[in-house]
Amino acid sequence: MINPFTLSGKTILVTGASSGIGKQTAILVSRAGATVCTTGRDAERLQETFDQLEGNSHRMMIADLIVEAQMDALVEELPALNGIVHCAGMVNPWPVKFILQEHIDRIFAINYHAPVNLTGKLLRKKKVLNHASLLFLSTIATRNPYVGGALYSGAKAALEAYAKTLALELVNKGIRANCLLPGLVDTPMIAFPSGEALQEEALERYTKRYPLGVGQPEDVAGAILYFLSDASKWVTGTTLILGGE
Ligand SMILES: NC(=O)c1ccc[n+]([C@@H]2O[C@H](COP(=O)([O-])OP(=O)(O)OC[C@H]3O[C@@H](n4cnc5c(N)ncnc54)[C@H](OP(=O)(O)O)[C@@H]3O)[C@@H](O)[C@H]2O)c1
C-alpha cells in the first residue's frame, strides 16, 4: 500500500531535539523512515532522544545555536537535507514597561536570529536539497496576545514573515517553507522555573481556554510529519494553527 506520509529515504534535521516538541518530532520522524540529524545543547538529554530513534544512521550533534562558531561547525558536519524542523526556542515573559535591550537580544537570538542564520548558512553551503521542506515553530500567541509575551510573540511573528518570504524565494527549487503555531503544549518550556510541571489548577484553566485541551508534543509532531512528507508537496508559505483558542 502507498503511504503518502512516509519519510523513507529522507534526511531531516531537527533542532531543539533534546526536549519537548523537538524530541517527539525526532522520534516520530525516525519511525516514519527518515534518517534524523538531532541537535541541542544538553548532551545527556540529546542522548536520551537519540537512544529512542528507530533505525540506523542517525546523527547527534551538540551545538548552541546562538554561538556562531558552533552553528558553523554544525553546518559543516551536516549532510544534504530533505527537511529542517526549527524547534529550538525559549520563552521568558517581560511586561512591556520592563523590557530592556538585553531582553530583546536574548529572546530574538534563539527564536529569530538562530533559525534565520542557520537556514541562510545551509542554503549557501548547498545543504538544502531541491524539494526540501522547511518548518518553523511559531506560536498561537502571534494571533492571540498574552500579558508579558510582547518579545516572544514579536520574535515569532518576525519568523512567520521571514518564512513566507523564504517560501517565495525558494519556490523555483521546489523548496517549501511553512510555520506551525501551536497553542499551549505540555513540555518543559511551560514548566515552572523550579522545573515542576504545570499544576492541576493551572492546567484546568488552560484546558478551558483550548477547546481540545492542552496539547502534547506528539500532537505537534504529527502535524510536522505531514509537512515533511510528500503529502504536503503542494503546501508552502502557510501557517497552521494547532489547538485553536
Ligand atoms: N510548549 C509550548 O507551549 C509551545 C507553544 C508554541 C510554540 N512553541 C515553540 O515550539 C518550540 C519547541 O518548544 P518546546 O515546548 O519543545 O520547548 P522545550 O521543551 O523547552 O525545548 C526547547 C529546545 O530548544 C533548545 N534550545 C534552546 N536554546 C537553544 C540554543 N541557544 N541553542 C540550541 N538549542 C537551544 C533546547 O535545547 P537544550 O535543552 O539542549 O538546551 C531544547 O531542546 C519552540 O520554538 C517554542 O517556542 C512551544
pLDDT digits (tens, 9 = 90+) for 3-16: 999 999 999 999 99
pLDDT tens, position by position, 125-144: 999 999 999 999 999 999 99
DSSP state, 11? E
**Cβ proximity of 64 and 41 under 8 Å:** yes
What is the DSSP code (8-state) at residue 86?
E
Arithmetic mean of pLDDT over the chain: 95
The pocket around ligand 1, CB under 6 angstroms, is made up of 16, 18-22, 40-42, 45, 64-66, 87-91, 110, 137, 139, 182, 184-185, 187-190
pLDDT digits (tens, 9 = 90+) for 188-202: 998 765 556 666 676
Closest CA to ligand 1's atom 12: 87
The domain made up of 11-242 has a fold known as Rossmann fold (3.40.50)
Q: Report the alpha-carbon distance of residue 216 to residue 186 in Å, rounded.
A: 5
Distance 19 CA to ligand 1 centre (A): 7
Statement: the pTM of the whole predicted model exceeds 0.85:
yes
Instruction: Give residue for cell 492546567.
Output: 203
Q: Tell me the C-alpha distance between 180 and 5, whole Å.
A: 18
Domain boundaries, the chain: 11-242
Number of the ligand 1 atom closest to the C-alpha atom of 152:
47
Cα–Cα dist 188/21, whole Å = 10
Which is the closest atom of ligand 1 to the Cα of 15? 34
